[in-house]
Structure 1
């Protein structure tokens, strides 16, 4: 192991399929332990980064003496971890997973830790409890820098806001400055757009199924490994769905549908949920890629190709799993394990690797 890797060792908790590790590894960090309870996600992580340091299972079963020393701990404990029902005790059983994250920080004694979570976390009671732990609790040696970062501001072709908290015991570390902007000025670059990620892919996938292959991780048989075009598969929408898709222009959504194609709930709900049945735009970042991106009724997930005067040049389908993974900044040759639904969940839950890389670059300035 190189001197740089030793100095930039990291632990990834609640690692999912490895979105944060992709970004940190690209900046020279070396994962020495990852922990993930979901088998399919853990298998995907292991397929890309190695099984030897990947722990699949309940984080509470990892003993203190099994936790290695590391320079950095990263991860996103589930946002329901700290109870907002009145108890501020980190020993509250409802806070178990947050307690585990803090336990790893105490045992690994990193120079820096990074927590990522949903945007609303920064406004939740749970967040105040984290601040309390830094003030007089188990992480009182760490100075916190919290904030909400927009992935598009860091070169990701997606408008995805995430709360990021940097905890440091080597002096305060500010959040990274944006490198991109919707209206760039100075040294800022323009936002990356959907075309830059999926514009060269076949707009008409040749299959609707995953290949029939199996692999083994952690002594368990699981579907995979799949890569690239393996997860570039389509779906089989109904004739009514196809008619709905055909009415939606880039940037549009359910409000573009004629009355006879509206569902009852859409007809009665005249405001809100503007991105439902939405179509992406080639020249803009996507909106947040969620775990059910394959359902157009869940957001703006229709393929961006649509021309007003050329019905024959419209692509009336939702984005594929492969397209979603590229909009999440996963490498084109990334390996995937699991069923269609399991892989979609992995993709939607991940931190865009471009955002993770921006955070990693910021930490390196101080760790070096």
Structure 2
């Protein structure tokens, strides 16, 4: 099923400001809030959908990637991406403050959910180097990370300060009447629980560091600097909190012969004067292996041969880019006596005189074509 456009979900135009995005999300969140729509599965789905859209559009970096690549920038990596990977605790943990105290930081009404706010563990960040071949074909990588997990034997008890709510309610008398506000409990950090017992080798929060190998599926067509998210594979949270996420930043390695430009690839092919004059065939690199191409007799230096579909797959699924082969005729720098004599006799030969045709584009025309 196709995902809805995030701007459409929030009722926004693509040029919406950060303030407009926040206002639109708050309106949708209040409309479909679980406290206003108890036991309404359709409202729950729309509430999550709005939260997923806001999670992307409220972050300048993620918004820029979404504007450029669409849903494919976040698919296949465990990201929220439209609310599909978010549960109600995730939403209130991340965006609870946007309701301005109108509903508090907890929720109720969906399957008997509790009233306390669940804390979220911290995220982990790693950089992953990929070859051009891996980017072109997609790959699954196994990444070793050291993450904090609850030590065996660690137990928790209800926080006596907030009685397990994770929040402390305060009533203030003002000229407008009595106003009630909620703030995160400082004793338990909003978890509603504090450590009761922990093993001697655990840290103050009851955690131990554990090395874990995590498989990460990399979709074809990712770009340098793109960040993928694997939900729940960051550091664990104390008590009944939710784990943080593993953020994987893509780093593209240089290729020895290919240069990437968006979805297209460029290859510099050098041919000798005899090959250019008489014609030949050459083997060149592509991201799917080597291919042999034909050099027609009389090939001119600067000619660009286009191999369609031999580039990088578009991350949005719009086909593949092309491989552009730039032909460069290599002029010898040193010649022996016999070779010099041959070219001396050819200087005035009519076949060696430049006679560009209308189809032979100038350098500037070729550059213009490349960028159009």
* Superposition TM-score tier, normalisation by shorter sequence: under 0.3
Structure number with higher relative contact order (C-alpha < 8 Å, ≥ 6 residues apart) = 1
Structure with more of its chain in strand, by fraction: 2
The structure number with the bigger radius of gyration is: 2
Q: What's the TM-score once normalised by structure 2's chain length?
A: 0.23
Q: What's the TM-score once normalised by structure 1's chain length?
A: 0.23
